[in-house]
Amino acid sequence: MKFIFFLFTFTASPAVLAAQMQGFGASYYQDVLPDSYYDTNISLVPEVTVGDRLYAMESSRLSDIAKTAGVMVNKDDRASWLCLASQDISYWFISDNEMGHGDLTAIAIARTRQHKECSSFKGKLSVSVRGILLPEASREKILSSFSHKPTGDIIQYCHDTRRDGEFTQMNCLQYFLEGNHVKGLLISQLTSS
């Protein structure tokens, strides 16, 4: 009887305990400081489309994205996530366990030909930030978007979205460069004091 209960719980649950994220999505776990950090007045709010639905940071649930995509949410001790691949791009949709509680709090994006850690998605799949190039950016295009010459291989831009007492909430866009091209990027919503 215990086995049947466990089996039902495992198959009916939208989240499954798993190993940590693999591929570029694992960058989410790394506490690497950027080589260059810039405050910007450019809004860094991502527009997320999966299938025929729009999703927003901090107000959309990973379980809703998973249901639309027909995949399971993975979970470990630090985050919940799902990874979708479309064409030559992999997208990790992430919820921080401490602050997100199942809401979308970060998105990792990488150009890759191998998607073994991600589920293939045939429908419409896009993440965009108005007026900003994401995985197709180069050093020069980043400079033209933000008017700061990017130095180093990890460049971060942040925009304050809300101040509440001693806390500031901000959206950040972190580019990981390899030579002149973007290897991957991380869009996240942070709270600092």
Per DSSP, the residues of 6-70 read HHHHHHH-SEEE-PPP-GGGGGGG--PPPSEEEE-SS---EEEEETTEEE-TTTSBHHHHHHHHT
User: Could you tell me which residues come within 8 angstroms of residue 112 by beta carbon, excluding any fewer than 6 positions away?
Assistant: 23, 24, 85, 88, 89, 90
- CA 40, 134, 161 angle in degrees (round to 5)? 35
Q: Looking at the predicted structure, is the pLDDT value of residue 17 above 90?
A: no
pLDDT score of 133 more than 50:
yes
What are the pLDDT digits (tens) for 75-93?
999 999 999 999 889 999 9
User: What's the pLDDT at 2?
Assistant: 45
CB 92 within 8 Å of CB 81: yes
Band of pLDDT at residue 42, cut at 50, 70 and 90: very high
pLDDT, mean of residues 51-67: 95
If you average pLDDT over residues 119-136, what whole number do you get?
Answer: 93
What rounded mean pLDDT belongs to the chain?
Answer: 86
Decide if 178 contacts 110 (C-beta within 8 A). Answer: no
pLDDT at 192: 76
The reported pTM is 0.86
Confidence tier at 6 by pLDDT (50, 70, 90) = very low
Q: What integer pLDDT is reported at residue 1 of this predicted model? A: 45
CA distance 42 to 119: 32
Per-residue model confidence as pLDDT tens digits over 96-116:
988 888 999 999 999 887 667
